[in-house]
Amino acid sequence: MTGTPSPGDLGPANADATRALRLKEITHGRVFGYALGLGMLGALAAAILAESLIVAVAGPVAVVVAVLAIAFAVADRRAAQDFFSAFAASHGFTYLRRYELMTFTPLLGAGDRRHCDRYMEGPLSAERHEVRCSLANYTFEVKHESRDADGDVDTTWDPHHFTICTADLEAGMGLYPGVFLAPRRGFISKMGEGNWLRGRNFRKVELESSQFAERYDLFIDPALDELRLRELFSPSFIAWLSGHPIEPCFEYKAGMLVVYVSGHTEDGGHLQWLLDASRDIVKRFEAEIGEESRSAA
C-alpha cells in the first residue's frame, strides 16, 4: 500500500485491511531493530545497576512488549490512513486527518468540544459535482468536572461518536427551518447527556408508520409548517427510512443537511451506504424544494 490511490481504485476494504502488512513492514524496518536493540541494552544496564535478576529477566520482556505495542499502534494508524485516503481518492474527495465543522445543526454544536477525524470532502455524486459533501468520523465530548479529596479539579471528557455526511442545501433554508430525525431513545437515554436535542424548543411529530416510530424520533422547529413536513416525508420516503439497513438519521437546519449514523464507521461498505443514503435524502429534499418553487411560480 505504498502507491498513491487513484479514482476508481477500490483500495482496502476497511481500516484494518492493511494492518498486518503495515506491521510486517514496521517489524522488518531498521527503526524497529534499533528500538528493540537499544531497549534491550537499556534493560540490561538497568539490571546491572540494580543488581537484580528479576530486572534482568523481566526488563527485556517488557521492552519487547512495549516496542511491539508501539509498532502495532503505528501499523493500525497507517492502515486506517491507507483505507481512508484510498476511499477518498476513489470518490474524488480530498482527505484531511482532522477538521472542525461549523456548528450549523444541533449535532454539530453538541457537547463541550467537538472535532472530525478522517475528514473527506468532494462531490456528493459523480453525476452532480455541484452538490458538495463531506464525510467524516465525528466526535463530540461532554466535560465532567469533579473535585478530589485535596480539592483539585479533575476533568474528564465523555466522547460520543458518529459518522456524518454533510451537504449544503441552501435552497431549502426558507422552507424547512429545522428538521431533526434522531434515533429513537428510551426514557433513560432521553435524559442522558448524550441526547443533544434535550431541552431544545423543538416539536415532536408522529408519522403514520409504526415501524418508523419504533426506529426514529422526529422533531421540527416550531416555525416549520407541519403540512410541508408531511409532504417531505412521503410514503415512499418513510418506507425507505423504516427499512434502511444502516438506519440513517439526519438534521437539516440553516441550509445544512447532516446525515449520520452512530459510531465511527471504518469500512468501505458502510461508508458507501451512508454516502448513498445521503444522496437519496438530498434528492428527496431537492424534489420537494423544486415542487414548492414550481407551485410558487
Partner 1 sequence: MDHQPHFKRHLVPADTQPDALLGDSAVTALYVIGAVVSLVAAWAIATFNTLVRARNRVDESWSGVDVQLKRRHDLVPNLVAAVEGYARHESGTLEAATQARAQARAAGAGGPASRGAVESALSGVLSQVRAVAERYPELAASNNFRQLQLQLAEVEDEIQGARNIFNSNVEFLNTKIQSFPNSLVAGLASFRERDFFEVDLPAERRPREVSFA
Return residues touching partner 1 (CB under 8 A): 208-213, 234-240, 242-243, 276, 280, 283-284, 286-287
Closest to partner 1 by CB, 46 vs 205, is 205
User: For residues 256 and 105, is the Cβ–Cβ distance under 8 A?
Assistant: yes
The separation between CA 48 and the C-alpha centre of its own chain, rounded to angstroms, equals 50
Closest contact distance (angstroms) between CB of 287 and partner 1 is: 4
Closest to partner 1 by CB, 238 vs 258, is 238
Closest to partner 1 by CB, 42 vs 243, is 243
User: For residues 42 and 56, is the Cβ–Cβ distance under 8 A?
Assistant: no
Closest contact distance (angstroms) between CB of 279 and partner 1 is: 9
Give the whole-angstrom CA distance, residue 132 versus residue 119.
Answer: 13
Closest to partner 1 by CB, 115 vs 283, is 283
**Nearest-CA neighbor of 122 among 161, 96, 83?**
96
Closest to partner 1 by CB, 141 vs 276, is 276
Closest contact distance (angstroms) between CB of 149 and partner 1 is: 42
User: For residues 152 and 116, is the Cβ–Cβ distance under 8 A?
Assistant: no
Q: Report residue 149: phi and psi, to 5°.
A: -60, -30
CB neighbours (10 Å) of residue 120?
A: 25
Closest contact distance (angstroms) between CB of 238 and partner 1 is: 6
Going across the sheet that includes 203-205, the strands are 94-99, 113-123, 132-147, 153-168, 256-262, 249-253, 179-183, 216-220, 203-205
Closest to partner 1 by CB, 104 vs 237, is 237
User: For residues 177 and 83, is the Cβ–Cβ distance under 8 A?
Assistant: no
Closest contact distance (angstroms) between CB of 209 and partner 1 is: 4
Closest to partner 1 by CB, 42 vs 235, is 235
Give the whole-angstrom CA distance, residue 48 versus residue 55.
Answer: 9
Closest contact distance (angstroms) between CB of 235 and partner 1 is: 3
Query: Which H helix or E strand runs over 175?
Result: none
Closest contact distance (angstroms) between CB of 214 and partner 1 is: 8
